[in-house]
C-alpha cells in the first residue's frame, strides 16, 4: 500500500510533491464528464515521469494484435481508447527560465480534488535556478452541464522579483499511447489554425476515420482587469500555440483563463465540426469561468443528492466511498447508448478503455439504483446492438445457427482480446450478459425490454451454451470442458462450477422468457421466431435436457461446491500464510507456479453464490465462503466486494468491513501497487454494492424491495439512497434503528428484517435494528 492521500470527507488531498507519487496522482486526481476525460497532468511543462492522458468517449483505434504464437480465432486487433489532443497545456517562462517542477525547488505543494463540486485545484511555490520564486494556483474542470467544454484558470504571482512572464497556451495532437503494440502514433493531421487568442487542430485516426477537432480560446487578466495582449502565433504539425509576454511586478497576480473543446465525428459531420467547435468555445467564453463552474457545481450537487452515501464516524471509509461514487459518475452518464464503461474509465490506458463483463456484473447495479431505469437500459441496449457481432464472434470459433458469444473485450461488439485463455475460454461472460437482463427487469418491472430486445439476446446466448456443452458418457451428464472461470489463476479447466451453473440458469431463464413473450405478445413472439429461424420444440427440448442433466462438481468431504474438476488435487494452502513480500503473486511468481497453486484471484464459486443467493441457505453460503475466501488473494480489483457482500450475509461483519474497506480505498491506498496505470472504475461500483447490498442487506426479490441492515462497529451511522420504480428511498441506519424515507408521492411495499410493510408516499418509518 501507499497511503499518502490525506483523509477528508469531501476532498482528495495530496500535501507535498513527491515525484515518486506523480503517476499515481495523475490517476487519482483524474477528471471526466462522460464525454471527455483527463488525467491530472500538469498544465505547465513537466520533464519528469508522466503519462499524458486526454480521452474522448467512444473514439478508439484497432491496434494490430501482437502475440508470440497466432491461433485460429484470435482477434486481429486490440481496441484502445486513444490518448487524444493535449488541451490543458500552458507553458510558462519566467525571464527565459522555463517552469518545470522536475527542475526547480517545489514547496507548499497541494493538489486537491473537490468531489462535492467536481473540480481539481493545485497550488505550489517554485524556486527557479535563478532564485526567483513564483506562486502558482491552477483550477480546472470538465463541465457536466456543457459536456464538450474543459476550462482552466491558471495564475502566476511573482513573489520576489519584477520581470517578464511568458504564457504559451497550446494544443498538441502529436501524442501517442504508451501501450501502442508497435510504438506507432494513431493520429494524422487534417488541418490546423492558429490565430490571435485562439487555435484549432483537427486530426483523424489512421484507421476507422474518426475525426476530432480540438479548439482553444483564452483570456489574460492582470490586477483584476482583462488584458489585450498581442500574442506571437505559432504552429507546426499537429500543434498550435499563442505566446503572450506579460510584464509583472512583485506581488502582481496574472491569470490566464483557457477554454477548450473537443468534438468528434461521432456526433458531428465532417463538414460542420470546425464550425461547431467554434460555437462551443463562444458559449464557453461567453459564460465565463465563474458561471461555468457555478452551473457545474450545482449539477454535481444534484448528482450527490441521489447517489451519496453518508458514513458517520469513519472518515477514511467516507472518503473512499465518495471517491468511488465520484469517479463512477464522472465516467458514465447513460445519455448515449453507444457508450459503455471501461475498467479504467478516463484515467489510464490499461485494458484499452474497452468494455468487459464488469459492466453487467458490477457496474449495472450502481447505475440501476442511483441513476434510474433509462440509464441502466442504455447499458443493456449497448449489448443488444452488438448481438450481430456476438453471433459473428461465435461463428469464428465454430458455433452456428445463431449462437452468440459476447466478447470478453470490445468497443464495437467484436472480440478484441488476444490471450487464448481469455478469448476462447472465459465464456462465463455470456452468463453475465443474460443475468443483467434479469437484474434490470427484476428491479424496474420493465417487461417491455424482454419482449422488444431481451429475448432475442437470451436465445443467442442459450444457443451458444447448448452447443458448448457436450455429453459425457463417463459421467452420464452434460459437461463444459476447457474453460477459465472468473478466477483467472486457473486456465483450461473442466467443469468450472460457476460457468456450468450460470449456463444452466441462462437456459432456464430463456425458457421462462419464451413462455412470457409467447403469452404476453404472441405476434412479437411469432415474428422473432421467424426472424431467428427458431425451432421452438426442438431447441427447447434440448435445452431442458441440459438443464436436467448438467454436471455440477461437488466435494462431499468439505460439503462445498467444487471450483472445478481436480481443484482438490492441488496443495491446499491459506492465503494469510503467504509472505507479504511476494504479494501480489502476479508480480512475483511465474504463471506456471500460479496455475499449479490453489490460490484464487477473485470470487469464482462465490460469484455464483452471490448471483443466485436465494437458492442456498445461510449455512451453505457460510461453508463455501469460509473455504474459498481463505484461499483468495484478492488480486483482482473485482474480488473483495463480492466477498464483503457475502460476509455480511453470513453475519461476519468484521470480515465484511475489512473487505469493504479494501474495495473502497483500493486506489486511494494503492493496494495492488498499480494505480499509476489508472483507476479501477468498474470495481468502484463494488464498494457501493458492499454497503447497499452488504451492510444494507438490500435485495430485490420477485420485484419487491427487501432490507436486512447491519452496521459495522467502526460506524456511528450510515445512509444511502436508491431509486426503485420511480421512487426515491433514503435508508438511514444507526446502532439502534433503521429509518426509511419515501421521498416520492407513490407508496412502495418493502420488507424489513423479513416483515412486509407498505411505505406510503412522502412518508417514513422507523424499525428497531435487529
CA angle 755, 758, 760 (to 5 degrees): 150
The residue annotated as part of the active site, out of 488, 490, 539, 677, is: 488
Q: Is 581 left (phi over 0), alpha (psi -120 to 50) or beta?
A: alpha
Nearest to 652 by CA among 710, 611, 607: 710
Q: Please, are residues 674 and 705 in contact by the beta-carbon 8 Å criterion?
A: no
Q: Give me the phi and psi of 537, to 5 degrees please.
A: -65, -45
Long-range contact list for 647-652, CB < 8 A, 24+ apart?
647/694, 648/690, 648/693, 648/694, 648/695, 648/697, 648/710, 649/613, 649/618, 649/621, 649/694, 649/697, 650/618, 650/621, 650/622, 650/625, 651/710, 652/625
**Measured CA distances, 305 to 309, 362, 723 (Å):** 9, 22, 12
Quote the strand ranges of 115-222, DSSP E: 119-127, 133-142, 149-158, 163-172, 187-195, 198-205, 211-222
Q: Which helix (H) or strand (E) holds 527?
A: helix 522-532
Residues near 44 by beta carbon (within 8 Å), at least 6 away in sequence: 90, 91, 92, 99, 100, 101, 136
C-alpha to C-alpha distance for 651 and 658, rounded to whole angstroms: 13
Q: Which residues pair with 243 in a beta bridge?
A: 232
Residues near 408 by beta carbon (within 8 Å), at least 6 away in sequence: 356, 357, 415, 417, 422, 423, 426, 429
Only one residue has cell 468439505, namely 558
Active site residue 425: no
Q: Please, are residues 501 and 486 in contact by the beta-carbon 8 Å criterion?
A: no
Which residues carry out catalysis? 488
Amino acid at each position: 500500500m501507499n497511503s499518502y492521500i490525506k483523509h477528508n470527507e469531501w476532498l482528495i488531498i495530496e500535501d507535498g510533491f513527491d515525484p515518486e507519487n506523480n503517476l499515481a496522482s495523475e490517476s487519482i486526481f483524474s477528471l471526466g464528464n462522460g464525454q471527455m476525460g483527463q488525467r491530472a497532468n500538469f498544465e505547465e511543462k513537466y520533464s519528469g515521469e508522466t503519462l499524458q492522458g486526454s480521452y474522448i468517449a467512444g473514439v478508439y483505434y484497432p491496434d494490430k494484435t501482437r502475440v508470440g504464437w497466432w491461433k485460429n480465432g484470435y482477434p486481429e486487433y486490440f481496441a484502445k481508447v486513444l490518448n487524444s489532443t493535449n488541451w490543458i497545456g500552458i507553458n510558462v517562462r519566467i525571464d527565459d527560465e522555463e517552469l518545470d517542477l522536475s527542475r526547480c525547488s517545489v514547496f507548499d505543494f497541494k493538489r486537491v480534488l473537490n468531489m462535492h463540486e467536481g473540480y481539481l485545484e493545485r497550488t505550489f511555490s517554485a524556486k527557479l535556478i535563478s532564485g526567483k520564486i513564483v506562486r502558482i494556483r491552477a483550477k480546472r474542470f470538465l463541465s457536466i452541464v456543457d459536456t464538450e467544454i474543459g476550462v482552466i484558470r491558471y495564475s502566476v504571482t511573482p513573489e520576489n522579483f519584477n520581470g517578464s512572464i511568458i504564457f504559451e497556451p497550446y494544443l498538441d495532437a502529436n501524442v501517442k499511447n504508451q501501450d501502442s503494440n508497435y510504438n506507432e502514433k494513431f493520429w494524422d493531421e487534417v488541418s490546423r489554425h492558429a490565430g490571435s487568442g485562439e487555435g484549432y487542430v483537427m486530426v483523424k485516426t489512421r484507421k476507422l476515420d474518426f475525426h476530432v477537432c480540438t479548439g482553444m480560446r483564452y483570456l489574460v487578466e492582470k490586477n483584476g482587469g482583462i488584458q489585450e495582449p498581442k500574442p506571437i502565433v505559432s504552429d507546426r504539425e499537429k500543434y498550435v500555440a499563442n505566446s503572450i509576454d506579460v510584464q509583472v511586478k512583485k506581488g502582481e497576480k496574472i491569470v490566464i483563463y483557457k477554454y477548450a473543446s473537443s468534438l468528434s465525428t461521432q456526433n458531428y459531420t465532417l463538414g460542420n465540426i470546425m464550425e461547431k467547435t467554434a460555437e462551443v468555445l463562444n458559449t464557453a467564453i461567453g459564460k465565463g469561468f465563474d458561471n461555468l463552474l457555478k452551473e457545474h457545481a450545482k449539477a454535481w450537487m444534484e448528482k450527490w443528492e441521489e447517489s451519496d452515501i453518508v458514513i458517520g464516524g469513519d472518515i477514511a471509509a467516507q472518503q473512499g466511498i465518495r471517491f468511488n461514487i465520484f469517479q463512477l459518475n464522472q465516467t458514465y452518464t447513460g445519455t448515449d447508448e453507444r457508450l459503455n464503461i471501461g475498467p479504467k474509465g478516463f484515467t489510464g490506458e490499461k485494458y484499452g478503455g474497452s468494455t468487459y463483463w464488469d459492466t453487467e456484473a458490477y457496474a449495472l447495479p450502481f447505475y440501476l439504483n442511483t441513476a434510474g431505469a433509462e440509464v441502466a437500459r442504455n447499458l443493456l441496449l449497448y449489448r443488444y446492438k452488438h448481438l450481430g457481432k456476438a453471433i459473428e464472434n461465435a461463428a469464428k470459433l465454430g458455433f452456428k445457427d445463431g449462437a452468440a458469444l459476447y466478447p470478453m473485450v470490445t468497443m464495437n461488439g467484436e472480440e478484441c482480446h488476444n490471450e487464448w485463455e481469455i478469448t476462447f475460454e472465459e465464456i462465463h461472460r455470456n452468463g453475465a450478459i443474460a443475468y443483467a437482463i434479469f437484474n434490470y427487469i427484476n428491479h424496474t418491472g420493465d417487461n417491455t425490454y424482454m419482449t422488444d430486445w431481451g429475448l432475442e439476446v437470451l436465445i443467442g446466448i442459450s444457443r451458444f451454451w447448448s452447443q458448448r456443452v457436450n455429453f459425457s458418457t463417463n459421467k452420464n451428464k452434460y459437461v463444459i470442458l476447457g474453460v477459465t472461470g472468473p478466477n483467472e489463476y486457473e486456465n483450461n479447466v473442466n467443469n468450472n462450477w460457476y460457468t456450468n451453473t450460470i449456463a444452466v440458469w441462462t437456459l432456464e431463464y430463456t425458457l421462462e422468457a419464451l413462455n412470457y413473450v409467447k403469452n404476453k405478445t404472441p405476434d412479437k413472439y411469432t415474428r422473432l421466431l421467424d426472424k431467428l429461424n427458431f425451432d421452438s420444440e426442438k431447441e427447447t427440448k434440448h435445452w431442458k435436457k441440459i438443464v436436467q442433466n448438467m454436471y455440477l462438481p461437488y466435494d462431499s468431504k468439505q460439503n462445498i461446491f467444487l471450483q472445478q474438476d481436480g481443484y482438490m488435487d492441488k496443495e491446499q494452502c491459506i492465503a494469510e500464510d503467504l509472505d507479504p513480500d511476494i504479494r501480489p503473486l502476479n508480480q512475483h511468481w511465474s504463471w506456471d507456479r500460479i496455475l499449479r497453486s490453489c490460490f484464487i484471484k477473485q470470487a469464482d464459486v462465490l460469484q455464483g453464490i452471490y448471483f443466485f443467493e436465494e437458492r442456498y441457505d445461510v449455512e451453505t453460503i457460510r461453508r463455501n465462503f469460509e473455504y474459498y475466501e481463505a484461499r483468495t488473494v484478492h488480486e483482482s480489483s473485482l474480488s473483495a466486494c463480492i466477498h464483503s457482500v457475502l460476509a455480511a450475509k453470513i453475519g461476519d461483519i468484521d470480515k465484511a468491513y475489512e473487505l469493504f474497506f479494501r474495495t473502497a480505498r483500493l486506489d486511494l491506498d494503492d493496494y495492488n501497487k498499480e494505480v499509476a496505470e489508472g483507476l479501477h472504475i468498474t470495481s468502484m461500483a463494488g464498494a457501493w454494492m458492499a454497503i447497499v447490498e452488504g451492510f444494507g442487506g438490500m435485495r430485490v426479490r420477485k420485484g419487491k424491495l427487501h432490507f436486512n441492515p447491519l452496521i459495522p462497529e467502526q460506524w456511528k451511522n450510515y445512509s444511502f439512497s436508491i431509486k426503485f420504480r420511480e421512487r426515491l428511498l433514503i435508508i438511514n441506519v444507526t446502532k439502534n434503528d433503521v429509518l426509511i424515507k419515501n421521498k416520492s408521492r407513490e407508496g412502495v411495499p418493502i420488507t424489513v428484517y423479513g416483515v412486509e410493510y407498505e411505505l406510503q408516499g412522502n412518508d417514513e418509518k422507523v424499525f428497531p435494528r435487529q
